Structure 1
Amino acid sequence: MKQTWRWFGPRDQVSIDDMLQAGVQGVVSALHHVPTGAVWSAAEIDRRKGEIARMTDGSPSGLGWDVVESLPVSEDIKKQRGQWREHIANYKLSLGNLRDAGIETICYNFMPVLDWTRTHLRWRLPNGATCMRFDLVDFAAFDLFILARAAAANELPGWLVEQARERHVGMTQEERQALASNVVCGLPGAAESFTLSDVQAHLEDYRDVSPDRLRANQIDFLTEVVPVAERLGMRLCCHPDDPPFALLGLPRIMSTEADYAALMKAVDSPANGITLCTGSLGARPDNDLPGMMERLGDRVHFLHLRNVKRESNEVYGSFYEAEHLAGGTDMVAMIAAIVREERRRAASGRADWQIPMRPDHGQDILDDLKRSGQPGYPAIGRLKGLAELRGIETALSHPLAGLPA
Structure 2
Amino acid sequence: MLMTQTMRWFGPDDPVSLRDIRQCGATEVVTALHEVPNGAVWPRDAIEARRQMIAAAGLGWTVVESLPVHEGIKTRGPDWDELIDHYRQSLRHLAACGITVVTYNFMPLLDWTRTDLAWPLPDGALALRFEPEVLAAYDLHILRRPGAGADYDAATLEAAARRFHAMDEGARDTLAATILAGLPGSEESFTIDEFRAAILDYAEVDADRLRANHVAFLAAVCPVADEVGIRLVVHPDDPPFPIFGLPRVVSTEADVAHLFAEVPNASNGLCFCAGSFGVRADNDLPGMVERLGSRIGFLHLRAVQREVGGGFHEAAHLEGDANMVAIIGAVHMLQRRAGRSIPMRPDHGHQMLDDLNRRTNPGYSLLGRMRGLAELRGVERGIAFARG
Q: Same fold (TM over 0.5)?
A: yes
**1:379 equivalent in alignment to 2:366:** yes
**1:343 equivalent in alignment to 2:330:** no
Whole-Å separation in 2 of the counterparts to 1:297 and 1:158: 42
187 and 74 in structure 1: CA distance in 2 versus 1, 3 angstrom threshold: farther
1:79 to 75, 81, 93: 75
Q: What TM-score do the two structures reach when normalised by structure 2?
A: 0.98
Whole-Å separation in 1 of the counterparts to 2:88 and 2:369: 33
For 1:297-316, what aligned pairs fall within 5 Å after superposition?
297-312=293-308
**1:358 equivalent in alignment to 2:345:** yes
For 1:179-328, what aligned pairs fall within 5 Å after superposition?
179-312=175-308, 317-328=310-321
Whole-Å separation in 2 of the counterparts to 1:32 and 1:271: 23
Whole-Å separation in 2 of the counterparts to 1:223 and 1:48: 29
For 1:19-98, what aligned pairs fall within 5 Å after superposition?
19-54=21-56, 61-98=57-94
Deviations 1:21-46 (A, max 9, x none): 10001110000000000000111101
Structure 1 partner of 2:19: 17
Question: For residue 402 of structure 1, what is the amino acid of its counterpart?
Answer: R
The worse-fitting range, judged by mean Cα deviation, of 43-52 and 235-244 is: 43-52
Count of residue pairs brought into register by the alignment: 386
After the TM superposition, list the runs of 4 or more consecutive aligned residues in structure 1 that deviate by more than 3 angstroms: none
Deviations 1:53-110 (A, max 9, x none): 23xxxxxx22111200000000000001132211110000000000100111000000
Whole-Å separation in 1 of the counterparts to 2:221 and 2:183: 23
**Secondary structure of 1:8's partner?**
coil
Structure 2 partner of 1:58: none
- Say if 1:74 and 1:84, in contact at 8 Å, map to a contact too: no
- Say if 1:210 and 1:251, in contact at 8 Å, map to a contact too: yes
Whole-Å separation in 2 of the counterparts to 1:45 and 1:304: 23
Deviations 1:99-132 (A, max 9, x none): 1001110000000000111001111112110011
- Say if 2:199 and 2:246, in contact at 8 Å, map to a contact too: yes
The worse-fitting range, judged by mean Cα deviation, of 35-44 and 182-191 is: 182-191
Whole-Å separation in 2 of the counterparts to 1:250 and 1:186: 18
What's the offset of the Cα at 1:402? 2.8
**1:150 equivalent in alignment to 2:137:** no
**Secondary structure of 1:53's partner?**
helix
- Say if 1:119 and 1:135, in contact at 8 Å, map to a contact too: yes
Question: For residue 179 of structure 2, what is the amino acid of its counterpart?
Answer: V
- Say if 2:111 and 2:186, in contact at 8 Å, map to a contact too: no
Structure 1 partner of 2:355: 368
Structure 2 partner of 1:350: none
**Secondary structure of 1:309's partner?**
strand
**1:392 equivalent in alignment to 2:387:** no
Deviations 1:235-262 (A, max 9, x none): 0000000000110000110000000111
Structure number with greater CO (CA < 8 Å, separation at least 6) is 2
2:118 to 122, 129, 133: 122
Measured on the aligned residues, the alpha-carbon RMSD in Å equals 1.0
Deviations 1:324-360 (A, max 9, x none): 01110000000000000000101xxxxxx11000001
Deviations 1:200-227 (A, max 9, x none): 1111110110111011111111001001
Whole-Å separation in 2 of the counterparts to 1:152 and 1:197: 15
Whole-Å separation in 2 of the counterparts to 1:194 and 1:327: 32
What's the offset of the Cα at 1:269? 1.7
- Say if 1:117 and 1:186, in contact at 8 Å, map to a contact too: no
- Say if 2:63 and 2:100, in contact at 8 Å, map to a contact too: yes
Whole-Å separation in 1 of the counterparts to 2:181 and 2:282: 27
Which blocks of at least 5 consecutive residues in structure 1 are unaligned? 55-60, 347-352
Question: For residue 22 of structure 2, what is the amino acid of its counterpart?
Answer: L
What's the offset of the Cα at 1:193? 1.6
Deviations 1:187-207 (A, max 9, x none): 414332211112111111101
Structure 2 partner of 1:106: 102
Whole-Å separation in 2 of the counterparts to 1:110 and 1:297: 21
Structure 2 partner of 1:349: none
Q: What TM-score do the two structures reach when normalised by structure 1?
A: 0.94
